[in-house]
């Protein structure tokens, strides 16, 4: 299974050989650096260079670009044009615009209880900031805002999780058996509750 997933880039390269676009983007998890001791990275670069591409590689952080999400991705930019390849420059943090938080993103959404919500309904309040105004794009409707159906045991577990907490806050007698056997350092995001002033 691991080989199936890590080998997907070869299918992408095969398409590139057939289509030969002027420019391309390939992105993956930063851990791709360690696949086969970096052999995957070398293969990508070598194949693209052999096809006449200039290739640049960089890890970008989603929160640096105005997303309320802690997400690292490895990007390859490749071009057969004469112009230089330039990665976008971060515009949030370190003296730039402030980072966008979870609450900046979702504070205008209505609170939902178990099984509530719907495919389409009106926003109950005005946008609370510029991001929300922009993301609405002049729409007065919310789409696909639905709370999943949770069983009673999960509802009990959630009562114990504070903002920013996780499964470690749930009393032992309520934990699933597999988590009871886990180390405190394992499954760090399982039963995670987002922090309003942090990232998803």
Residue 1, pLDDT score = 40
Q: Is residue 97 situated within a structural domain? A: no
How much is the pLDDT for 68?
95
Q: Is 69 in the same domain as 15?
A: yes
Phi, psi (rounded to 5 degrees) for 163:
-55, 130
Return the ∠ at Cα 123 (arms to 121 and 127), rounded to 5°: 155
Q: Which of 55, 79, 103 is the last residue of a domain?
A: 79
Residue 106 belongs to some domain of the structure: no
Q: Identify whether residues 11 and 54 lie together within a single domain.
A: yes
54-70 pLDDT, tens digit per residue, is 999 999 999 999 999 99
Average pLDDT value for residue range 131-160: 95
Asked whether 99 and 71 are in contact (CB, 8 A), the reply is no
DSSP 173: G
**Is pLDDT above 80 for 2?**
no
Query: Is residue 93, in this structure, part of any structural domain at all?
Result: no
Write down the mean pLDDT value for the chain.
92
The total number of structural domains in the chain stands at 3
pLDDT in tens, 35-53: 778 899 999 999 999 999 9
Inter-residue contact 191 to 161 (CB < 8 Å) = yes
Q: What percent of the chain has pLDDT over 70?
A: 97
Kindly report the pTM of this predicted structure. 0.78
DSSP string, 65-113: GT-S---EEEEEEEESSSSPP-PPPP-BSTTSBPPPPHHHHHTTSPP--
Q: What is the pLDDT of residue 35?
A: 78
Neighbours of 159 (CB within 10 A): 11
d(CA 24, CA 60): 16
**Residue 160 is part of which domain span?**
150-200
Q: Is residue 91 part of a domain?
A: no
Instruction: Quickly state the pLDDT bin for 6 (edges 50, 70, 90).
Output: low
Q: Is the pLDDT of residue 3 over 60?
A: no
In a domain, 102, yes or no: no
């Amino acid at each position: 299974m691991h080989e199936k997933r890590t080998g997907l880039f070869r299918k992408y390269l095969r398409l590139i050989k057939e289509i030969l676009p002027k420019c391309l983007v390939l992105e993956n998890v930063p851990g791709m650096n360690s696949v086969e001791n970096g052999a995957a990275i070398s293969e990508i670069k070598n194949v693209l260079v052999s096809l006449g591409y200039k290739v640049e590689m960089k890890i970008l952080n989603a929160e640096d670009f105005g997303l309320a999400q802690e997400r690292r991705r490895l990007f390859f930019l490749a071009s057969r044009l004469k112009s230089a390849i330039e990665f976008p420059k971060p515009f949030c943090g370190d003296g730039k615009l402030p980072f966008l938080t979870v609450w900046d993103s979702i504070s205008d959404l209505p609170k939902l209880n178990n099984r509530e919500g719907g495919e389409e309904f009106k926003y109950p309040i005005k946008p609370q900031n510029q991001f929300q105004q922009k993301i609405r794009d002049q729409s007065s409707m919310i789409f696909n805002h639905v709370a999943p159906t949770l069983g009673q045991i999960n509802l009990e577990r959630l009562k114990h999780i504070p903002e920013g907490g996780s499964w470690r806050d749930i009393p032992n007698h309520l934990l699933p058996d597999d988590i009871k056997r886990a180390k405190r350092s394992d499954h760090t995001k399982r039963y995670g509750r987002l922090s309003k002033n942090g990232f998803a």
